[in-house]
Chains A and B, each alone.
Chain A
Amino acid sequence: MADRAEGAVATMDERGAPPPKLALRDLVKTRRSTAGETVTAVDHVTLDVFQGEFVCLLGPSGCGKTTILNILAGLDAPTSGQALLDGRPIAGPGPDRAVLFQEPALFPWLSVVGNVEFALKHVGVPQDERRDRAMGWLENVHLTNFANAQPHELSAGMRQRTALARALACDPDVLLGDEPFGALDAQARELLQNEVQRVWVESEGRKTFVFVTHNVREAALLADRVLVMTAAPGKLLEEQRIYAPRPRQLDDALVSRVVSEIHEILMLEVSKGGGS
């Protein structure tokens, strides 16, 4: 499946194709600052994400990318414009759109396997099947030996891997990531990036991933399409398609080239921001 990205483009161009998996139509999100002023976090953003795509939203902190992700998750509502899932407005959160948060957000009163079972329980998996299936997901992220540990006994990377297992246990159509690896050390981050890439490749076009990041290398490694955003108020600045074959490594020549291209766009944007 080296050229999955091109496949996705083809679907988009076909007439009468199904609606995009996720879509934003002229999305605006404002919020009131503590000083009482109205701040525009997201400024008229329109975008389509098609089923089976891996899209990264890339931008400096405060560019509204987390806000976009929260709106897609159904945890936040647009001020104006629309957020659509399969062509229908997003009304709230649900296990069809799992979220990896910046922090693992594990439930500290549950064991590692208990956290994964929580997800299975709420998508209606019968009780006697939950343990086996949860163990299967933990095996997938190499945490079998820590199934009965409590979250606080794990390293940061292992906690985020547990969160990944928990998110995938819902068998979501969409996985949303809000800089989920930002707080990890380099090795743990690379391990998790590889896990995420593998899960996405293995879903063979069934699962749609949207990740938010400020890490250019991460975006170039993971995404079919990188959407570069401007600093506040958040707008889409540029779209970069990445056709490098999978599975990718950070030191692949093509990945490195994309990294430096995106870097240039960002530097230009930052220097413009500094001049105004």
Chain B
Amino acid sequence: MRRIAREIGPPLAGVVGLLVVWAIVAAFASPRTVPSPASVWSALRRGISDGTIPEAAVKTLIRLVFSFAVSIVIGTALGFGLALNEFARRSVRPLVVALQITPFIAWLPLAVVWFGLSERAVVFVAIVGAFPSVTLATISSFGQVPPLLKRAGRTLGAEGWHLYRGVIFPAALPGYVGGLQQAWGFAWKALMAGELITAGLNATGLGQLLARSQDDVPALVATVAVIVVIGVLVEYLVFVRLERRIRARRGLLLSG
């Protein structure tokens, strides 16, 4: 119990502090610009009970999972290929870096030309936003495998594919997972931006819901809150936990 309290105490205090500040600001501001926490809470409950928020969240999460999965496949395959061949790496890696630093939303107009103002355009932007991180992390995580471990593996009889399976993949795992963590963040941001801009469609999603809630400020803030909570949950429950487990097992955590 005490460990759990120590773990979630500080972030909980941060959230409570934010709510307090928000309540104070809301008390002095117009409810049209800054709605009170209570009105947002009731908008949230309304949105959940009438099904609009769950429906939008599920749609968005399906798009997220799909675009993230495609990014992992493309990013890993490309990264692995580039890790194996130096010439290919030196010619293609700069292009992937260029893609990674380009704001993903810049691709949306082009995506609309190719795919129409559709869900496919949004998913395309999310994939283009996410897969470069996977590719670059794959390349660098292979590059950082300690040569000593490869040598040890080879003297123990692990050659070729066995060396990859037994030594190189596990040794590269922490860096690769770090890349996935970054990539999911990009996919999530790209998805939200894409959904927001393609709100004219009858497709639903949290981004579209956001765009349609502009007249109802409490509902708008409630939707933002849902987006924030989903992001935090995925980040902590999936990636931070995964990374901690991997690092703790290898004795790489700086503090317990």
Q: Is B212 close to A, CB under 8 A? A: no
Q: Which one, A104-112, A187-195, A207-215, A251-259, is touching chain B?
A: A104-112
CB-based contact A119/B250 at 8 Å:
no
Task: Give CA–CA (A92, B249) in the complex, Å.
Answer: 32
Decide: A101 and B156 in contact? CB cutoff 8 A. Answer: no
1/0 per position for A91-127, CB-CB distance to B under 8 A?
0111101110101010111100000001101110000
Q: In whole angstroms, how far apart are the Cα atoms of A167 and B173 in the complex? A: 25
When A108-B250, A153-B251 are in contact, do A98 and B155 touch as well, CB less than 8 Å?
A: yes
The number of residues on chain A lying at the interface, defined by a beta carbon within 8 Å of a beta carbon of chain B, is 29
> Are B250 and A109 touching (Cβ within 8 A)?
yes
Instruction: Judge whether B250 and A150 touch: CB under 8 Å.
Output: yes
Closest to B170 in A: A109
A166, B156: Cβ atoms closer than 8 Å: yes
**Which residues of chain B are near A166, meaning CB under 8 Å?**
156
Answer whether residue A58 sits at the interface, using C-beta atoms and an 8 A cutoff.
no
Question: CA separation between A148 and B32, bound complex, in Å?
Answer: 61
CB contacts (< 8 Å) of B162 on chain A: these are 122
Interface bits A59-102 vs B (CB < 8 Å: 1, else 0): 00000000000000111000000000000000011110111010
- What is the minimal beta-carbon distance from B252 to any residue of chain A, in angstroms? 8
Residue A25, interface by CB 8 Å: no
C-alpha gap A74/B157 in the complex (Å): 12
A-B contact count (CB 8 A): 71
Tell yes or no: B99 within 8 A of A by CB: no
- CB neighbours of A110 from chain B (8 A): 170
Interface flag for A206 (CB, 8 Å): no
* A97 CB contacts on chain B under 8 angstroms: 155
The answer on a CB contact under 8 Å between B155 and A118 is no
| Residues B151 and A95 in contact, CB atoms below 8 Å apart | no
| Contact, CB under 8 Å: B156 / A109 | no
Known: A101-B148, A108-B251, A118-B158. 19 other contacts (CB 8 A): A74-B155, A75-B154, A75-B155, A92-B154, A93-B155, A94-B157, A99-B151, A99-B152, A99-B155, A105-B152, A107-B170, A109-B170, A109-B249, A110-B170, A118-B153, A122-B162, A122-B166, A150-B251, A152-B250
